[in-house]
Structure 1
Amino acid sequence: MKFITKYKHIVIENMDSKKATKLQLLNFKSISTRTFWITSIAFFLCFFSWFGIVPFMPDVVKDLGLTPEQKWNSIILAVSGTVFARLAIGKLCDKYGPRLCYTWMLMIGALPVILIGFVQTPEQFLICRLFIGFIGASFVITQVHTSIMFASNIVGTANATSAGWGNLGGGANRLGMPIIAAAVVSLGIAEAENAWRYSMIIAGITCFIMGIVYFFFTQDTPEGNFKELKERGELPTSKKDEIGFLEVLKDYRVWILFLIYAACFGMELTVYGTMDDYLQNRFGLSRSFAGNLVLSFALMNIFARTLGGYFGDMFGRLKGLRGRVIFLAVILAIEGIVLTTFSTATSLVVGMGFLIAFSLSVQMAEGATFSVVPFINKKAIGSISGIVGAGGNVGAFVAAMLLKSKSAVAESAAIASNSQLGEQAVKTAQMAASASAVSSGYFIIGGFVVLAGILALTIKFAPVAAETPELVLKADK
């Protein structure tokens, strides 16, 4: 075990290390900076395509005749496929490198995005949404690549910033997709009712092209690609990789982080995926106004997730790895408290205040999580990132199932009890029932997040790493 110590702001690195110790966004001569930008843009495009259908759901429901059950199932399937993809892609990154993994994922993942533009039945739509979810694994590759490219003193900030800017794609599509659709219609390419199909096809083609860009303009590590490093004997054998993966599976800290990421990113996916309808049903907002509000909260990823990584790095410098864990626990607790409070709000102004606080805290918690992940086991960053990343989608799946079950029961009861009062009365009762059910679901979810914050405090490191400030560890195993 090698220990390399940092006093004040001086880091003594191995002479052959080429990892960036600063996040210099305009230093394009640096392979770390170029990789940061390309992986962030690729991540943005993947999330843009993954959730690209969301702004068009009313059109899809009308075009394909989706039932409420099928609509909810499409939301669940969209996050379910990502679980398996993230678990697999992390191990593949450790074995083949992030460059090839991202290239193939972008090019293959583009196919269901394109194909959804050609679906004719609800079943075909649901299948495409399942497979489109695979490109959500882009997050794992992005975190692996930035973890490899940046040194310990800045890795939390780099990870959080690339993830935050990539996450913007999941909100920017609410504005970008309608613009693409409007352009398609104005150019006479398609009628308005079919514009959603062409928008998804364009998004898929863009992802495919980005896969080509990724292959030619990035490399796996500052020292070169995995293939070259293996030829020089600078990477462990596949047998050692397998042992490392088994060690990852046995490490309790990985599974705690799995649950923690379920409590932050998973909750962000679910809350934002249901927030449009909730704001309309709870506060009587118009569809466009509610959508713009959700978009504005998603745009907080520009800075909020970076703040989480930055404070994770800062507390690491002050209090060692234990400092990173303490900050993560605190920000998770804040996230849970503001979500439960938001769920009880009946005033739009008060509700918006707590929703802003939730957006800020949940994104900071995501950044703080991946300021801890790179320090669990540096020999298996990909595998750990994949498992933790999958936790986010498992959390989204469980939360969506909770909200679906509560909402479906409440809406069915409202419809049955008001069926004799006319269509408008049924619709009003259904909206009120849905809002009440989702509100109680948010309250339960907030309580789970608080518990996850308490659980974070059980993450332990070796005493010298956990408690010593200004310490950078490098292990040769």
Structure 2
Amino acid sequence: MNQPLAKLNIFSGKGIQMRTFHITWLTFFFCFFGWFGIAPLMPIVREQLHLTKEQVGNITIASVSATIIARLIIGRLCDTLGPRLSYTILLVIGAIPVMCIGFANSYESFLLFRLIIGIIGASFVITQFHTSVMFAPNVVGTANAVAGGWGNLGGGITQIAMPLIAAAFVGAGYIDKANSWRIAMIVPGVILLIMAFLYYRFTKDTPNGNYNEIKRQTKEKKKGTFVIALKDYRTWVLAIAYAACFGIEITVDNVAATYFVDNFKASIIMAGALASIFGFMNIFARALGGIFSDKVGKIYGLRGKGLLLAGFLVLEGIGIILFAKAGTLPMAIVSMLIFALFLKMANGGTYSIVPFVNKDAIGSVAGIVGAGGNIGAMLVGFLFKSKNISYSQAFYYIGIGVAVVGLVVLVTHLRTSNKVQSATNIKDDAALARA
């Protein structure tokens, strides 16, 4: 019988665990092209559709709103239907509005497409769930952080890739610049369909096979997992924490290019390149958060993981305040790197705790916490649509809010059961593999 791996070898693709690991983070990576591919092209869309600041703000809010419900549903489906089928269905359905957004010819139609596209954001929950069942407790935080971080990297790559794709279509003479965003969005839609096939064909729900192929001893325990997760205060603490880190991340993915165009007079391609710096931090920063959290957890348990997460959030908030106050482009870039580092480490730290909340409801806990991230993005989105608040002021208020959340996590006592606690601290790999 195959067991969850007690060691993460990122250079290996051997075995169902590592094959699933690589396919799931790569799929999540391309999901960002569908979810946020239009973000760096928004200055062009804004000009063609004659959008106001308030309308752009509404579009930003819409892009993360549907994800809230989608993540809650997907988390439950992972517990029941399984991650393999859940991901396949999500990718096929999500590809449709991505390819069709080019038909939008008004604010209302564009807003609707942007809202529906948001369901793709639920892909994160499946990625974290699938990684959690493939790796043992001693390394699951690191595995989740690396998979999530490398996947989130797509949010940075798309910032520079999509403007270049649009420019390539213009250069080839297929379309004019004003309409280039329409044809460019077909590319990520096609990629999502390809990944749907690969996910269905080459992954398994668990190390022992798909849900319909194995006798699941925990079948009865799967009933009511969503309610169990809702009743646990730790789920809500992590949801609030994730709102303050990942919620801010996807907000930055949405507004960064426009911010650099408006505040520093950057071109579309240059603004996309600058915004991509933020996303590139995912190559290592989220993984660092998971690695540090796993090491702290082995010594100090879940309480130590919680204190570390609180520290990440406070430092993230300070970094955002510095970014808001940056008066020059170099200072803005430096401060963005600072807050990006701690933000993404907080992402990794949050989901290094998720698998330890309730091992029989991992999907539901992951879904609720993930939805918390999008609720955070939706709420701060109202700051960016306000006529009376500039983007710089919005970032300043966000920085203060994130630091406050960090203090809340700091004073909250995260505890766990003796069974999970021992699995967190134990050093014997064989025992961990059986946990």
TM-score band w.r.t. shorter chain:
over 0.9
2:165 and 2:52 map into 1 onto residues whose CA distance is 27
Do the aligned residues in 2 keep the contact of 1:342 with 1:354 (CA within 8 Å)? Answer: yes
* Amino acid in structure 2 at the alignment position of 1:162: A
Shift, 1:228, TM fit: 1.7
Shift, 1:193, TM fit: 3.1
Shift, 1:353, TM fit: 2.4
Asked if 1:342 is matched to 2:297, the reply is no
Shift, 1:203, TM fit: 1.3
Asked if 1:460 is matched to 2:414, the reply is yes
Do the aligned residues in 2 keep the contact of 1:244 with 1:380 (CA within 8 Å)? Answer: yes
Gaps of 5+ in 2: none
User: Compared with structure 1, are the counterparts of its residues 34 and 452 closer, same or farther at alpha carbon in structure 2 (3 Å cutoff)?
Assistant: same
* Amino acid in structure 1 at the alignment position of 2:109: Q
Shift, 1:284, TM fit: 4.8
Find the counterpart in structure 2 of residue 409 from structure 1: 388
Find the counterpart in structure 2 of residue 102 from structure 1: 87
Alignment of 1:88-167 (within 5 A): 88-167=73-152
2:302 and 2:43 map into 1 onto residues whose CA distance is 47
2:368 and 2:259 map into 1 onto residues whose CA distance is 31
User: Compared with structure 1, are the counterparts of its residues 146 and 201 closer, same or farther at alpha carbon in structure 2 (3 Å cutoff)?
Assistant: same
Do the aligned residues in 1 keep the contact of 2:43 with 2:268 (CA within 8 Å)? Answer: no
Shift, 1:468, TM fit: 9.3
Secondary structure at 2:224 match in 1: helix
Find the counterpart in structure 1 of residue 233 from structure 2: 252
Do the aligned residues in 2 keep the contact of 1:156 with 1:313 (CA within 8 Å)? Answer: yes
* Amino acid in structure 2 at the alignment position of 1:256: V
Shift, 1:45, TM fit: 1.1
Q: Which moved further from structure 2: 250-259 or 165-174?
A: 165-174
TM-score normalized by structure 2?
0.93
Q: Which of 152, 164, 175 matches 2:160?
A: 175
Shift, 1:325, TM fit: 1.3
Asked if 1:218 is matched to 2:208, the reply is no
Q: Which of 264, 288, 297 matches 1:316?
A: 297
Shift, 1:281, TM fit: 4.1
Q: Which of 323, 328, 345 matches 1:364?
A: 345
* Amino acid in structure 1 at the alignment position of 2:225: G
Q: How many residues align?
A: 430
Find the counterpart in structure 2 of residue 352 from structure 1: 333
Shift, 1:401, TM fit: 0.5
Cα shift readout 1:174-201 (whole Å, capped 9, x = no counterpart): 2211232233334444333332211111
Q: Which of 295, 298, 307 matches 2:288?
A: 307
Find the counterpart in structure 2 of residue 228 from structure 1: 213
TM-score normalized by structure 1?
0.85
Shift, 1:120, TM fit: 2.4
Cα shift readout 1:26-48 (whole Å, capped 9, x = no counterpart): 32221111111111111011111
1:248 and 1:306 map into 2 onto residues whose CA distance is 25
Find the counterpart in structure 2 of residue 471 from structure 1: 426
Find the counterpart in structure 1 of residue 50 from structure 2: 65
Do the aligned residues in 2 keep the contact of 1:322 with 1:461 (CA within 8 Å)? Answer: yes
* Amino acid in structure 1 at the alignment position of 2:371: A
Q: Which of 175, 181, 187 matches 1:202?
A: 187
1:85 and 1:283 map into 2 onto residues whose CA distance is 36
Q: Which moved further from structure 2: 346-355 or 20-29?
A: 346-355
Cα shift readout 1:279-313 (whole Å, capped 9, x = no counterpart): 44444545543332211121111111111111011
* Amino acid in structure 2 at the alignment position of 1:460: L
1:342 and 1:186 map into 2 onto residues whose CA distance is 35
Q: How large is the Cα RMSD of the aligned pairs?
A: 2.3
1:350 and 1:185 map into 2 onto residues whose CA distance is 34
Q: Which structure has the greater CA radius of gyration?
A: 1
Identity %: 47
User: Compared with structure 1, are the counterparts of its residues 474 and 377 closer, same or farther at alpha carbon in structure 2 (3 Å cutoff)?
Assistant: farther
Q: Which moved further from structure 2: 34-43 or 284-293?
A: 284-293
Q: Which of 277, 290, 296 matches 2:277?
A: 296
* Amino acid in structure 1 at the alignment position of 2:73: A
Find the counterpart in structure 1 of residue 392 from structure 2: 439
Find the counterpart in structure 1 of residue 357 from structure 2: 376
Cα shift readout 1:87-106 (whole Å, capped 9, x = no counterpart): 11101110111000000000
Secondary structure at 1:226 match in 2: coil
Q: Which of 374, 393, 396 matches 2:377?
A: 396
* Amino acid in structure 2 at the alignment position of 1:182: A
Asked if 1:185 is matched to 2:164, the reply is no
* Amino acid in structure 2 at the alignment position of 1:447: I
2:94 and 2:154 map into 1 onto residues whose CA distance is 16
Do the aligned residues in 2 keep the contact of 1:334 with 1:361 (CA within 8 Å)? Answer: yes
Alignment of 1:256-295 (within 5 A): 256-295=237-276
* Amino acid in structure 1 at the alignment position of 2:87: Y
User: Compared with structure 1, are the counterparts of its residues 469 and 476 closer, same or farther at alpha carbon in structure 2 (3 Å cutoff)?
Assistant: closer
Asked if 1:27 is matched to 2:12, the reply is yes
